[in-house]
Chain A
Amino acid sequence: MTHTIKLEANSRPEVMERILRVVRHRGFNLEEVLMKQCQTTNSTKITLKVSGERPISNLENQLNKLYDVAQLELHQSTATTGSAVAMNA
């Protein structure tokens, strides 16, 4: 399964590492990533495309638990990795 997750996080220097570490450790592969700093809100917008066989709700919960993650939405889940997903942060 492939999933697209959109996140808004506090823009601390290590926030991307923190998020990617959770993705890997909780059993998902990173397929695509887009990240953008938003100066006005001091936040970071991130779109991740991940694949993995474990329930995506587990990953959502673990990411949501991060203190620096302010918002999370699961956008799309597809059975194959073939179709391209538009990545707009």
Chain B
Amino acid sequence: MTGAELVLKVLQQHGIKHIFGYPGGAIMPIYDALYDSEVEHFLCRHEQGAAFSAIGYARSTGKVGVCMATSGPGATNLVTGLADAMMDSVPVVAITGQVFSNLIGTDAFQEMDVLGMSLSITKQSFLVQSLDELADVLHQAFEVAQSGRPGPVLVDIPKDIQVGSVDFEPYPIAEKQTPDFSAESLKLAKDLIASAQKPLFYVGGGVGLADAIDEMQDLLEATQIPAISTLKALGTVPADYPYNLGLVGMHGNQAANHAVQECDLLICTGARFDDRVTGKLDTFAPNAKVIHLDIDPAEISKLRHADVSILADFKKLLPALALETQIQPWQQQAVELRSEYAWRYDFPGETIYAPKLLNLLSQKLPHDHAVSCDVGQHQMWVAQHMLFSSPRNHLSSGGAGTMGFGLPAAIGVQVARPDCTSVVVSGDGSFMMNVQELGTIRRFKLPVKIVLLDNQRLGMVKQWQELFFEERYSETNLSDNPDFVTLAKAFDIPALTINQADQIEQGLDQLINSDGPFLLHVQIDEKENVWPLVPPGKANHDMLEGEKV
């Protein structure tokens, strides 16, 4: 068979049924092989869309997402997506075509040093050197993408290798090996937990990545220790867990931020002390000892010294941590914090209050749903006001904060989980960054539900200008946006605009009950801000509260 055919064979060996991509000269042999392959290809309308769809596919299932592009500009268009996957530890394999080996380094047409570009935005990358190593490199790519802390891997394949002929040899897929953790550290950790008066779980995305959501929930059940969550962890701690204090950090719940400042033991479980979580780092959890649990050694004591650390697969580790605690006063305090700072939606007014709309949407959605969002105020409102039953149902560009993530991610979700209600909550700024993917929705008749929160502003930037730049609104006014309903209709997507509170109910019903895709265009007040907020350089308990406009 040809190298190109081999590529598809290896994908199939790894259980890959769907890939996202865009063709071009240097990858034509692989597209030719796709023509009669069982692997189903989803043509996106921009390689960035393909990368984000692969991310959506991966994040909503835990499987590897695959994207493909041609050399040069095709590959550079993948870059933002791969960087996003790197920062959020998403298992993605990107395959790029490269010019003929003998043309590499000659400035040939669409010849770029993709391997060089990939170094800082992938977990590992390969420029395939020969046909002999092609299969092996591809197998390694899948293994690296999924092992330990997951991440994106790029394989750049010169055209001569795609067209060359090679024998296909079946390859035994290795069983996942999980490292053993030290019994000694486990004992130290349990002793610390047992003696703490105010222990707190700081739950991160690592729990979901390790597929250890049940184990985490069992551990909470056993220990009854209060918990706070990062953006990526939302959905891990059950919404009805009595000591669930919600999102921590810059736009976190006050309950979570006050609890973390007061705890005497912080059990960091697959999180990484990101600055959006900690605020001013040396004021974060000032009274706490730290237990750091992770699979990645490089996270331990990177930003905050760990008194005890355990490197382990959470599926094994978390059950071993179970113990009974005696922390009634602290639990009581958690319950009080939770009720004191519960979100409120009972504000009067005729216009649409986005947090209330999102909260209602959350209640109305069928059980099997996933929400992808873009970046900005609307993203924070999704995190604050929607409830999730698994981190696989909340896709938000966390580490990278990439506008344009939402729509293609929701496409990836819909391909991976055809029966799921795949919703994207976008902003008027972000939506335009990958708006071409409406073409993908149309092409594959994907019933993606789009909620477009339109404040005619780059709202999050505008909020910072208002608070920290003396209301000098430089380049954040989008009041010349296109007519989004007409835009949707150009792609055969039915759409509706609402702008009054009494239209919310009907608008959401129409969105959810439509058979195919639907765009709900929601006009909101541009003055509505995200509260609370930890100002830059401040400690987490120094939160600003604002008023609903």
Residues of A that sit less than 8 Å from B by CB: 12-14, 17-18, 21, 25, 55, 57-58, 61-62, 64-68
Given contacts A14-B127, A67-B124, A67-B144, contact A62 B298 (CB under 8 A): yes
Task: Tell me the count of chain B residues lying within 8 A, CB to CB, of chain A.
Answer: 16
Query: Scoring B residues 297 to 332 as 1 if CB is less than 8 Å from chain A, else 0, what string do you get?
Result: 110111000000000000000000000000000000
CB pair B302 A58 closer than 8 Å:
yes
Interface residues of B in 106-131 (CB under 8 A from A): 115-116, 119-120, 123-124, 126-127, 129
The 4 closest A-B CB pairs, nearest first, are A61-B298, A67-B124, A65-B298, A61-B297
Specify which chain A residues have a CB less than 8 angstroms from the CB of B211 in the assembled complex: none
CB pair B119 A18 closer than 8 Å:
yes
Kindly list 20 other residue pairs between chains A and B, CB separation below 8 angstroms, not including A13-B127, A65-B298.
Answer: A13-B129, A14-B115, A14-B127, A17-B116, A17-B119, A18-B119, A21-B120, A55-B301, A57-B301, A58-B302, A61-B298, A61-B300, A64-B298, A65-B296, A65-B297, A66-B124, A67-B123, A67-B124, A67-B144, A68-B124
Query: Which chain B residue has the least Cβ–Cβ distance from A68?
Result: B124
Residues of B that sit less than 8 Å from A by CB: 115-116, 119-120, 123-124, 126-127, 129, 144, 296-298, 300-302
Query: Which chain A residue has the least Cβ–Cβ distance from B143?
Result: A67
CA distance A57 to B144 in the complex (A): 23
Interface centre among A14, A66, A68, by most chain B C-beta atoms within 10 angstroms, is: A14
CB pair B119 A14 closer than 8 Å:
yes
CB pair A25 B144 closer than 8 Å:
no
**Smallest distance from the beta carbon of B361 to chain A beta carbons, Å?**
40
**Smallest distance from the beta carbon of B240 to chain A beta carbons, Å?**
38
Q: Offer 17 A-B interface pairs, CB within 8 angstroms, sorted by A.
A: A13-B127, A14-B116, A17-B119, A21-B119, A25-B120, A55-B301, A57-B301, A58-B298, A58-B302, A61-B300, A61-B302, A62-B298, A64-B297, A65-B296, A65-B297, A67-B124, A67-B144
**Smallest distance from the beta carbon of B300 to chain A beta carbons, Å?**
8
CA distance A17 to B129 in the complex (A): 17
**Smallest distance from the beta carbon of B272 to chain A beta carbons, Å?**
13
Specify which chain B residues have a CB less than 8 angstroms from the CB of A68 in the assembled complex: 124
CA distance A55 to B120 in the complex (A): 21
Specify which chain B residues have a CB less than 8 angstroms from the CB of A57 in the assembled complex: 301
CA distance A12 to B119 in the complex (A): 13
Specify which chain B residues have a CB less than 8 angstroms from the CB of A65 in the assembled complex: 296-298
Specify which chain A residues have a CB less than 8 angstroms from the CB of B296 in the assembled complex: 65
Specify which chain B residues have a CB less than 8 angstroms from the CB of A12 in the assembled complex: 126
**Smallest distance from the beta carbon of B293 to chain A beta carbons, Å?**
16
CA distance A18 to B120 in the complex (A): 8
Specify which chain A residues have a CB less than 8 angstroms from the CB of B123 in the assembled complex: 67
CA distance A58 to B300 in the complex (A): 9
Query: Which chain A residue has the least Cβ–Cβ distance from B296?
Result: A65
Specify which chain B residues have a CB less than 8 angstroms from the CB of A55 in the assembled complex: 301
CA distance A18 to B121 in the complex (A): 11
**Smallest distance from the beta carbon of A18 to chain B beta carbons, Å?**
6
Specify which chain B residues have a CB less than 8 angstroms from the CB of A61 in the assembled complex: 297-298, 300, 302
CA distance A21 to B119 in the complex (A): 8
Query: Which chain A residue has the least Cβ–Cβ distance from B113?
Result: A14
CA distance A47 to B297 in the complex (A): 22
CA distance A17 to B116 in the complex (A): 8
